[in-house]
Every structure is written in C-alpha cells, then in structure tokens.
C-alpha cells in the first residue's frame, strides 16, 4: 500500500510503501479504519469502534494481513453480513487515486500529435479548430469525451481539473458525462474574448460572463453533484480583456462560500469557486503579455493582472509558471494559490523547466498535470516520469560536450570539467532533483492540496473518501517481476511507476464506488458497489 507523507520541516512530500497494512471502507465509501504494521504499537486513536466496515483491504503476507484484519473485526462481532474481506496478493498494491491538475478535454482527439510548433501557432492551427468543432457537432463531442473519460479513469486518474471549450453546450455535456462516469471532476467553461479566430472567440466580455454564470448555475443547481464542480477558466492573458478578467473576479466573489450539491456540499473541499488559467508558460506568451500592457493598466506580466482582478485565491490552480519571478512566487504563496506542473508539455512549449523544489520551498502548492494535448500522454505516470527527468536535467545541466575549436561558444557558461582536448560545460542547479517518490506525492497529495481537497483525498486516513487505484504489477507485460518474492514491495511500486501502464490498473474507486473494474477474479468486487450514486 502506498501512503503519501509530508515532511513539514523540509517542505517536501514523499511516499512510504507499507509492506503490510489494513484498510476498512464503510458503506458510504469513507475510510473507517486504517492500520499499518509499523503503527501497531501506537495506541489506536481512530474511531473505528463506531464504524461498520463493508470491506477490509490487506496486502502482503497473507496470514499477517488476516491477523491485522482480525484485530479490527473483534470490535465488529458478529461481523455484519455485508462485510467482505479482501487479501491482496503480493503483486497487488493500493494507491490513492491520481489527481491530474491540468488537462484540456477537447484536445484529447489529437493527443500524441502536433507537438512540433511553437505555442501560439499550435493554438491557431490545432487547438482552436478542434475546440470549435465541438459546438457544431455534439455527437462528436460525446464520443470524444466518453473516450477521454474511459482512458483517464482506466489510467487511475480519479480527480481531474479540466479545461473544456468556450461553448456552453459541449461543456455541459462534459459535466454530465463526468457525473455519469463517477469521476471527481472540476470543469471550466473557457473564457476568451480577444486574440482568437473570429469563429472561435466570444463576442464580448459581457457575453462571456453571462454564459459563465449560466454554466455555474447549471453545475451547482441542476447537476448538483458533490463530485463535479465548475471552475472559472480565463484561458490565458492574451485571450482575455481586462473587463472580462475583472468580471470573472466579481463572479468569484459573488459565488464565494456557495455550497453545491444536494447531498451535503462539496465533499470536504473549501467553499468557493475554483479558478484556473495558464501563467508564464512560454517565451512567446511572456513576450505577447508585454505587448498587451496598455490594455491592463500598464501591467506587462500576467500574474499581477490576475491579482488585481481578484483571481488569486486558495482555490486557484495556474498551469506552468516556469517563468515566474521570485516575487511572483511569493505572491502565489501569500494567496495560497497552486501551480499545475506540466513537465511533458513544458519540454515542447515552455522554453524552460519549472524548478519544483524552489517553488515548494517558496511555500507554493504544486500538483502534476498531463496538459493534454500539449503533453502527448494522458497518463499521470507519464507526468510523474517527466517530472523526474525535468528535475534531473535542471540539476545536472544540459550542455553538450564541446570541442576545442568551439571554445568561443562557451562564453557565459560555467565550465564543468576538462578531458583531453575536449571540455564540457553545464549550468546545473544543485538540489533541484525530484525523485519518483516525491513525484508520486505531487501526483496524489500535491494535487489534492492544490484543489483544496487535502482533507478529502490524496492519502489514507480515517474519514477520507476511498478514492483508490488497485494495481497488479503482473497483469501487463511491461513490468519485470522477479520470481520467488525477489522484489520488495517498494521495488514493485517503483517498477510500476517507471514501466507500468493502464493494463496493470485493475480497479479504480471514487468515494468507494468502483468506476473501473479490470477483470481480476481473485475476490475483489467493489466496496460500495451498487451504492446509490448521486443523481441529478
């Protein structure tokens, strides 16, 4: 079992792989019991005496796991008829559901292509036409979004923060489909009233704001699900007039504290509207912002404009941020806003690498995002791996070997070493590396913190929702598992993180409801399976 943990002194998150642990889920999908082997000596302070578990998950040596489960069941004698005990085989483990803090649902159709252009040209040639098509062809939108949801849920993403498109009908459709699928989804109708193609641009700030309010009311009052939430979504500074950004800030204030959902609110999240956008993503975007300063009271950077318009709150998640200054990071930290780190798309469009360690040390919340389709993979495993690679490139430097005759090219570079007639130069930054455990923390608990869901999901704790991924590393062919138990539990998790894929994801749960079942017949079955789901 994988348990995200935080070192509050070092401001670092990581994960601990528990060899033996037991977890109980009650009839409404909440964790009512959690015990790891290492915690046995501690006095129990949980409230499991009051809980009536339907299911106990255990991992590791079978007899040991059964003993852990039995110690809990003593308080539940006779066991309730609905109780199901599941002992996971050694090749299985449970992982808190993965949280994708940035992806564009309309772009899913061209995932894996069109990565050869600079950002602004890519938007005009691929992104805007693909988003525009959704409103004129809702059957296409339905098929695209169904495929997207099946794919990302199948990959273990239990929570996602979506950009949709500017149009109301396909965006409402995405909300409906997420609700039906049972994923935890945050969905934004995109706002954009300038610097976009004529046929894919909102007519005015007021028209954009009216459509946004209609969307908010639809999600909050009609769908009214505790799992699906609306998000204010100014695309990015170049496509949003100052009047539009100010109007969105007014909407954020108007809806502050408003609960959504007929079944008890927002599932543990802080009240208020979520807000998302892109910030300081690429060199061409930064340059564009400079040219727009006269339209934003002389301000040439995007973050201060968002601040002035009231769009920086503890529920704001901004994608990228790789060109933010130290003072801008400090502002983000003061406002409690988070960054969605999208390392894969940054390699193509960002002209830089986010110094994640530095951002965390500045007190800014960080989650991971796939940034479909700027990132060519919708899998959070890909985001985790890219995060590790990007941090290594940042720490070690990326200069090539230089030969003597190229010496003039090295001007301004730090000389790293010499060997014979050749030299190598690099500009690494010490202490920047993020290892796989830290990246996995970012993909679970880090994302939960960004969305204000840290008390609800992201790790195992009594009272949290059972949002979980069950992995069998033997299910697919890409993970090498040593026979005879040669791998430790930690080895198996690391092997999956580095080489696994959706074939190993057997089951996916959101609030105890199983939303993917991969066909394992070893006695699983869903806790809360058949539990009444939220209905409109």
Residues that bind Zn ion (CB under 5 A): 319, 371
Contact, 195 vs 238, CB < 8 A?
yes
Contact, 533 vs 182, CB < 8 A?
yes
List of residues 6+ apart from 50 with CB closer than 8 A: none
Residue (68 or 311) nearer to Zn ion, CB: 311
Between CA 337 and CA 345 the distance in angstroms is 21
What does each C-alpha distance from 383 to 5, 167, 345, 497 come to in angstroms? 20, 28, 9, 10
Any idea which residue has 């939960």 for tokens?
448
Strands 513-517 and 505-510: antiparallel
At its nearest, how many Å lie between Zn ion and the CB of residue 189? Answer: 15
Between CA 336 and CA 307 the distance in angstroms is 12
Any idea which residue has 């700027």 for tokens?
374
What does each C-alpha distance from 282 to 286, 352, 488 come to in angstroms? 6, 8, 42
Contact, 229 vs 294, CB < 8 A?
no
List of residues 6+ apart from 453 with CB closer than 8 A: 99, 159, 184, 267, 268, 269
At its nearest, how many Å lie between Zn ion and the CB of residue 95? Answer: 25
At its nearest, how many Å lie between Zn ion and the CB of residue 273? Answer: 19
3-state DSSP call for residue 170? Answer: helix
Residue (25 or 319) nearer to Zn ion, CB: 319
At its nearest, how many Å lie between Zn ion and the CB of residue 404? Answer: 43
Residue (162 or 441) nearer to Zn ion, CB: 162
* Range 1-31 burial, b when 16+ CB lie within 10 A, else e: bbbbebeeeeebbbbebbbbbbbbbbbebbb
Residue (26 or 371) nearer to Zn ion, CB: 371
Residue (328 or 371) nearer to Zn ion, CB: 371
Residue nearest to Zn ion (CB): 371
At its nearest, how many Å lie between Zn ion and the CB of residue 319? Answer: 5
At its nearest, how many Å lie between Zn ion and the CB of residue 166? Answer: 14
In the DSSP assignment, the letter for residue 506 is E
At its nearest, how many Å lie between Zn ion and the CB of residue 5? Answer: 30
Residue (371 or 449) nearer to Zn ion, CB: 371
At its nearest, how many Å lie between Zn ion and the CB of residue 278? Answer: 5
- What CA dihedral angle connects 277, 280, 283 and 287, to 10 degrees? 90
Residue (123 or 312) nearer to Zn ion, CB: 123
Write down the number of H helices and E strands in the chain. 16, 21
Residue (153 or 372) nearer to Zn ion, CB: 372
Nearest to 199 by CA among 241, 244, 165: 165
At its nearest, how many Å lie between Zn ion and the CB of residue 375? Answer: 9
Sign of the Cα torsion 476, 481, 483, 485 reads negative
Residue (15 or 119) nearer to Zn ion, CB: 119
**Strand order in 365-368's β-sheet?**
98-104, 157-163, 184-191, 228-234, 274-279, 316-320, 338-341, 365-368
At its nearest, how many Å lie between Zn ion and the CB of residue 105? Answer: 11
At its nearest, how many Å lie between Zn ion and the CB of residue 341? Answer: 12
Residue (57 or 371) nearer to Zn ion, CB: 371
Residue (93 or 306) nearer to Zn ion, CB: 306
């Amino acid at each position: 079992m994988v348990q995200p943990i935080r070192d509050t002194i070092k401001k670092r998150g990581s994960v601990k792989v528990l060899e033996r642990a037991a977890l109980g889920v009650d009839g409404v999908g909440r964790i009512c019991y959690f015990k790891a082997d290492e915690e046995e000596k501690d006095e129990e302070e949980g409230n499991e005496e009051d809980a009536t578990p339907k299911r106990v998950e255990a991992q590791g040596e079978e007899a040991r796991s059964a003993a852990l489960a039995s110690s809990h069941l003593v308080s539940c004698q006779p066991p309730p008829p609905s109780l199901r005990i599941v002992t996971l085989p050694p090749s299985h483990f449970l992982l808190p559901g993965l949280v994708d803090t940035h992806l564009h649902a309309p772009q899913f159709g061209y995932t894996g292509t069109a990565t050869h252009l600079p950002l602004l040209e890519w938007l005009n040639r691929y992104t805007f036409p693909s988003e525009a098509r959704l409103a004129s062809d809702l059957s296409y939108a339905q098929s695209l979004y169904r495929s997207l949801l099946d794919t990302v849920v199948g990959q273990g993403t239990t929570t996602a923060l979506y950009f949709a498109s500017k149009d109301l009908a396909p965006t409402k459709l995405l909300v409906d489909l997420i609700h039906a699928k049972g994923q935890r989804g945050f969905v934004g109708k995109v706002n954009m009233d300038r610097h976009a193609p004529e046929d894919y641009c909102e007519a005015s700030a007021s028209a954009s704001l009216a459509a946004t309010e209609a969307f908010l009311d639809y999600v909050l009052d009609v769908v009214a699900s505790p799992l699906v939430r609306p998000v204010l979504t100014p695309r990015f500074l170049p496509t949003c007039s100052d009047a539009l950004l100010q109007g969105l800030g007014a909407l954020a204030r108007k809806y502050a504290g408003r609960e959504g959902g007929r079944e008890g609110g927002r599932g543990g999240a802080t009240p208020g509207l979520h807000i998302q956008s892109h910030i300081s993503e690429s060199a061409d975007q930064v340059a564009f912002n400079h040219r727009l300063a006269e339209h934003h009271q002389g301000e040439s950077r995007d973050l201060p404009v968002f601040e002035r318009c009231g769009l920086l709150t503890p529920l704001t998640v901004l994608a990228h941020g790789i060109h933010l200054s130290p003072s801008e990071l400090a502002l983000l930290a003061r406002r409690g806003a988070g960054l969605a780190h999208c390392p894969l798309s940054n390699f193509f469009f960002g002209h830089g690498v986010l110094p994640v360690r530095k951002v965390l040390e500045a007190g800014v919340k960080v989650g991971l995002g796939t940034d479909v389709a700027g990132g060519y993979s919708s899998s959070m495993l890909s985001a985790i791996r890219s995060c590790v690679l990007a941090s290594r490139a940042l720490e070690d430097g990326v200069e090539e070997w230089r030969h003597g005759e190229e010496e003039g090219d090295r001007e301004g570079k730090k000389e790293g070493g010499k060997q014979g007639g050749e030299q190598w130069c690099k500009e690494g930054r010490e202490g920047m590396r993020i290892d796989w455990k830290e990246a996995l923390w970012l993909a679970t608990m880090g994302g939960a913190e960004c969305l204000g869901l840290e008390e609800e999901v992201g790790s195992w704790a009594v009272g949290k929702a059972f949002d979980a991924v069950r992995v069998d590393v033997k299910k697919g062919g890409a993970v090498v598992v040593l026979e005879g138990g040669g791998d430790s539990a930690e080895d198996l998790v690391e092997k999956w993180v580095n080489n696994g894929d959706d074939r190993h994801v057997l089951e996916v749960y959101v609030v105890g409801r199983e939303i993917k079942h991969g066909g394992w017949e070893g006695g699983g079955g869903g806790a809360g399976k058949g539990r009444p789901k939220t209905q409109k």
